[in-house]
Every structure is written in C-alpha cells, then in structure tokens.
Structure 1
C-alpha cells in the first residue's frame, strides 16, 4: 500500500501540482470574454492549401485547468471547397460545433498546435470517414457533456480518431477525456491488434501498444513511457522527449 501511495504521489500528484504551479505563474485572460479567439495563422489559407487537407489540432484550455488539459478539434477541406470545416464539441449550447471558431483559432488566447496533417489524395479518402464518425458520435445531444471524466471535447475527437484507424494517431496524454468510455466498454482493441486500452469509465485505466507505449491512467491524468517514439509522459506536461 505504501508503494502504491508513493507511486501515485510521485507519478501523478507531484507532476500535476508542478504543472498547475507553472500555469498559475503565467498570465491568462480573466474570462472567456477577454480571451483571444482569433485565427493564429498556423494553417495556410484554404485557397492556397492542397486540393484536400485535414488536420487534428489542440490548444491549452482556459484558466488554471489549462495546466492539466488541452482542447482538441478536427479541421477538414474537401477538394471542391475553398474553405475549412472545423468540428468541436463544447459544453455550452449545441455540443457539436461546426465552424463556430476559426479553423486555427486560439483557444482562450492559447496558440494551437497541429497534431496531425494529411493532404491530397490521402486526405480526400479519409474526409468522408471523418464526417461519418462525427455524424455517428453517440454523445452529440444537448446535455451529453461532462467536463470530467467525460464525455467532453477530447472524448469526441478521440472517438473520431478511433473510428478512422487509418489516421494512425491518438490525442496527446494531456487531452483529458480521451480515455473516457461508458461503463461496460472496458476493453478497446484496435483493428490491427497493436493497441489495447482498458478503461473504468475514464476514472482509471491502462493502455499498451504502438500508439501509446505503456500508459497508466488515473482520474484522466496519464503517466507513461513511449519506447517507439522515446518519451516520458507526465500529467500536465504531456510528452517529454523526442
């Protein structure tokens, strides 16, 4: 029991507190009204982008919780379109938002990063599958949102990524809510059998595989080691390594 408590303290509580401390020491907008939601310029203009494009993006969320979590979304552009389409899930109003924010907009003044980019024929092939996954998301109604442990914005994007395994990607460990599963969905095994996740409703779980390395999940936080892409994963800080 002492070893378990020490493991939880050193691998989860201490890094989380450190990340929260770094966040608290920084400057943040006082509320969503004063935050910057404008385009960051991270993406090229839709007119100049490849015939088809898709992006998975994320940015730190607002307030002190930004020390632990990011908000994620998906952006697509079909060949015949001269504009991007952005998909988010939020906790206010209609949960699934389409083009409610700029495609590469800042989130609570925080700069977004591109987690995955696909262009051309590859993107064109995957976009219909992404649209089908968005349409089939099982927690898309009003009230189907819980900031913790989920389903939240990251639960939505994680579901889409699992539904389109050809993307070969997952959200970063600081995407709290990506691990959420309804109670009863205890085991998730990828189609290629290379990634296994065990979940207790998003409250606790483990993951092992090509995408995750080895992860121990507790309360939405992640501690883990990635061998394929060498890195240590710490709550709040995410991946530290290559």
Structure 2
C-alpha cells in the first residue's frame, strides 16, 4: 500500500512538472528567445517606447519588462521602473541587477539614460505608463520606496529576491500604481517572514500569500486568480479575459492597466 501511494504521488509530481514546463518549452521552440548570441554581443538598441525628454517636458513614469538572457528567458522576464520628473533632460532607471553582487556592490541600481533599451537582445514591453502632474506627484514616493527595498545586498535568480521582487516591492508601496506584472515575472511573489508571508498583490488590487516565492496564490482584480508553484505562475484573469501561463505569460484579450497618453512624442523604433 505504501509503495503504491508513493508511486501515485511521484506520478502526480511528474505530471505537475510537465504541465509547468510546457510553456517554457513552447517559448524555446518558437524562437522567441535567442540562444546563440553571446552575452557580450547582445543587442541593447532602443525600442522607441520612451518619449524623448527633449520634446516631452511633462513628468513620466513607466514600468518595463523583457525576457531574461539566454535559456532563462524561456521562464522569466526582468522588470524595471523608469521615472522622469517634469522638465528633466533624462530618465532615471530603477532596478536590481544580479551581477552587481558578484562585484561587491549593492544589487539595487539607479542609472541615468534611455529606459527602453533592449535587455540583452530582448525587446522590452511596457506594462504601465503615466504622464503629467499625477506622475510628478508619484515620483518622490517611487524613489523613496526604492531606497527602502529590504534586500539591497541579496540576489537569487530563483525564487528570489531578484529584480522582479524589487519591482513588486516598489509597486506595493504606491497604491495608485495598479500594475499587473505577468506570471513570468518570477520573484514578484517572493515574501518572507518579515511580512508573515502575506501582502498586497503587486497590482494593489487584491491580496497574495506566498512562502518565499515557492508556493502561494494571488486573488485580485488585476491579476485575477494566479497560483504560484515553484516560482512559476498560472491562472485565470477574468478582468482581461486572459490565461496566465508559465513561460508564456498572459494570453487573451489584454487591456492596458492605464490607457496610454495620446499625442506623446516618441521617436521611431
């Protein structure tokens, strides 16, 4: 009886892992990620998603994500936040970068420059954008939340804390930022005992529970219902009529969290 139960459990585990890996396998087979270009030769060209500060004086807040480098991109995206105060000539890009730890530096980084560059060959997606006085009022709170990030010297690509843990941390402290990070943002669910493994969803529209990003769930208006198992998220998003799938991300009719502003000045890609 015990042997039979053991093999049944083993079978359930194997089937679950296969289901979780279908998405990443599909991403690899569809050539969505580049497995051949060396790290040092990866493309960092601009994507054209960031308005030119020279012709766009109003304040801007943006949230980006792009597939991570090489095979890791089959599973996850890297996310970051960009801010430009009113009349500023440059953007400030806020993110966590793992290799900084290997150099003895804090993993948190605030750099000046274009925020819409390809991430080691992967074209970024824009998850959120806000212009004008609302963005101007939001920027100080974003910068302060970035300074309060509790893991400035820690980095683990899986299950966290990582770049997506940082983005989710900042978003949770700005209630107006109802940003729906995709299920491929592995690390966004990283919660530890400091918050009793319970927090607002990254979108600030619901609640989530998670045990160190390894197992948990989100129930919210923006994310819908998302289950996190071993860092991989899957679920159903009724608000956007979308499925949330490991490796693939959101599939379906997806609306923007906030409508993009009209008549903004963006250069050609």
> TM-score by structure 1 length?
0.90
Per the alignment, in what secondary structure is the counterpart of residue 217 of structure 2? strand
1:127 alignment partner, SS class: helix
Query: Is 2:241 the counterpart of 1:205?
Result: no
- Residues 86-125 of structure 1 aligned to structure 2 (within 5 Å): 86-93=93-100, 94=105, 95-99=107-111, 102-125=114-137
Q: Relative to 1, partners in 2 of residues 1:11 and 1:103: Cα closer, same or farther, differing over 3 Å?
A: same
Match of 2:144 among 128, 132, 144: 132
Query: How many residues end up aligned between the 2 structures?
Result: 239
Corresponding residue number in structure 2 for 1:172: 182
Shift of 1:11: 4.0
Gaps of 5+ in 1: none
Shift of 1:101: 6.2
- 1:238 and 2:249 matched: yes
Matched, 1:15 2:26: no
2:40 aligned residue:
33
Q: Normalising to structure 2: TM-score of the pair? A: 0.81
Residue 232 of structure 1: CA displacement? 0.6
Counterparts of 1:63 and 1:119, CA distance in 2: 34
Secondary structure at the aligned position of 1:155 is classed as: helix
* Higher mean C-alpha deviation, range 4-13 or range 151-160: 4-13
Q: Check whether the contact 1:53–1:76 (CA below 8 A) recurs between aligned residues.
A: yes
The separation in 1 between residues aligned to 2:69 and 2:113, in whole angstroms, is 15
Structure 2 vs 1, CA of residues 241 and 99 (structure 1 numbering), >3 Å: closer, same or farther? Answer: same
Cα deviation for residue 4 of structure 1 reads 5.1
CA distance in 2, matches of 1:15, 1:27: 16
Tell me by how many angstroms 1:224 deviates: 0.3
Bigger-Rg structure (1/2): 2
